[in-house]
Amino acid sequence: MDFNDTKDEAKFRDEVNSWLSANADKKEHAKDIYRPAEMSGESESGESSALKDAKAWQAKKYDAGWACLHWPKDYGGRDATPMERVIWGQEESKFKVPGGFFEIGQGMAGPVLMLYATEEQKKRYLPPMAKGEEIWCQLFSEPGAGSDLAGIKTKAELDGDTWTINGQKVWTSGAHYSDYGIIVTRSDFSAPKHKGLTYFFLDMKSPGVEVRPIKQITGGANFNEVYFTDVKIPDSQRLGEIGDGWKVSLTTLMNERLAVGDASGVDFQEIFELAKDQDFNGDAAISNGAVREKLADWYCEQSGLKYTKMRNISALSQGSTPGPEASITKIVSANKLQDIANYGMDLMDNASIARDEETAIFQGSLLGAPLIRIAGGTDEVLKNIIAEQVLGMPQDIRVDKNVPFNEIPTGSKN
């Protein structure tokens, strides 16, 4: 039992490190992250500056052969092993580099294109996706279909070899700066709900596509509503057979679980430092037994996730497939984030009400956590997945399974 690289891994790590050292600045500590020139995090200008920097860094990696490492060389990758990809990620995270715009394209759209697009399309779209030249978004959720994704209503009608799309998507990250999107639509309303879906990719600049930002409870706007009014998509941009959209969607969702990682925001370190600094009945909060018990619980969760990840990486290093253990990551980290943020504000007592340098990260995490518990599979959906796919328990009985979609009842909140 060890944490050591194999000879090949060590050699690869050296190679990665020497390229990164020559092309980026190393972080001086964990919090020393990249910040764009005009930073506000939420304003339009902050984002565009961050986007410009991210594109430049991605292009630099691409040119040197460090983008989408595990993809085939023909499509802009490096043909790297899963372990090499992990090593790259570990090393890159030690440097102050921008990111955060390409994950959906590279993590979700890319793998689907690789499975379902024509060779010509793959050669056309995958390299610019790897390079960060073209950004992709995922158009799945709708106002009436989130966890029950197969309940979507966006309509696709075929006339000759052109489809016409009408409807509305929601919770689309990055739609406002995306060039292309992957979309699942309903092409047959009289078929049972999983059987009437068809999957496409489209140009987000197509006439009839309208993107509107959604203001979240944090005050930020990272997601959008996207409206489709008579949007035309050529049949050549269909991925999978007509009516097979559910199967294609599942491929995408499998990759989504890999793309959605730890929740960012306050973690053990922040609450530990706060408890040391914060006064509690005339003493440091950390000297209080109740506080210590809370801290210990969160440390155990953080550590448990860390070494769960290590077990997975180890499986990759040994040439085997990682187990399903990682499915617990988002549930645990999002709930931990929410509880630590709330407890931090408790420890700060009345001082937690005002927004200042110290409270901001706790306040922001508390407001951001609910969305993380929902995005990319709610806690409840993830628990179903653990029960069904990891533990082999039966699916729920589905009252709408074999009913024509247009006969399934809907309620007042759909």
Q: Is 383 in the site for another protein (CB under 8 A)?
A: yes
Instruction: By CB under 8 A, name the one of 160, 394, 409, 411 that touches another protein.
Output: 394
Q: Is 305 in the site for another protein (CB under 8 A)?
A: yes
CA angle 183, 189, 193 (to 5 degrees): 70
How many Å apart are CA 233 and CA 229, to the nearest integer? 12
How many Å apart are CA 188 and CA 185, to the nearest integer? 9
Residues numbered 318 to 357 that lie near another protein (CB under 8 A) are 318, 325, 328, 331-332
Q: Is 121 in the site for another protein (CB under 8 A)?
A: no
Two structure tokens written together for 261: 């990682």
End-to-end CA distance of the chain: 52
Q: Is 407 in the site for another protein (CB under 8 A)?
A: no
Q: Is 374 in the site for another protein (CB under 8 A)?
A: no
DSSP strand pairing (180-186 vs 136-139): parallel
Please provide the DSSP assignment of 49-89 as one string. Answer: HHHHHHHHHHHHHHHTT-SSTTS-GGGT-----HHHHHHHH
Instruction: By CB under 8 A, name the one of 64, 360, 390, 403 that touches another protein.
Output: 390
Instruction: By CB under 8 A, name the one of 26, 311, 355, 401 that touches another protein.
Output: 311
Reading phi first (left if > 0) and then psi (alpha if -120 to 50, else beta), residue 178 is in beta
Q: Is 307 in the site for another protein (CB under 8 A)?
A: yes
Q: Which is nearer to another protein, 77 or 151 (CB)?
A: 151
Q: Which is nearer to another protein, 160 or 392 (CB)?
A: 392
Q: Which is nearer to another protein, 303 or 414 (CB)?
A: 303
Amino acid at 248: V
Alpha helix segments (H runs only) across 260-328: 268-277, 289-317
SS3 10: helix
Instruction: By CB under 8 A, name the one of 58, 187, 308, 333 that touches another protein.
Output: 308
Q: Which is nearer to another protein, 66 or 298 (CB)?
A: 298
Residue 203, CA distances (Å) to 66, 138, 298 in order = 27, 12, 44
Q: Which of 63, 34, 67, 68 is nearest to 51 (CA)?
A: 34
Contact track, another protein, 258-287, x by CB under 8 A: ---------xxx--x---x---------x-
Report, in Å, the least distance between residue 386 CB and another protein: 4
- Using the contact rule CB under 8 A, the part of the chain among 44-52, 157-165, 222-230, 377-385 near another protein is 377-385
How many Å apart are CA 267 and CA 93, to the nearest integer? 17
Q: Which residues of the shown chain bind another protein in the complex (CB under 8 A)?
A: 1-6, 9, 30, 267-269, 272, 276, 286, 289, 292-293, 295-297, 299-308, 310-311, 313-315, 317-318, 325, 328, 331-332, 380, 382-384, 386-388, 390-391, 393-397
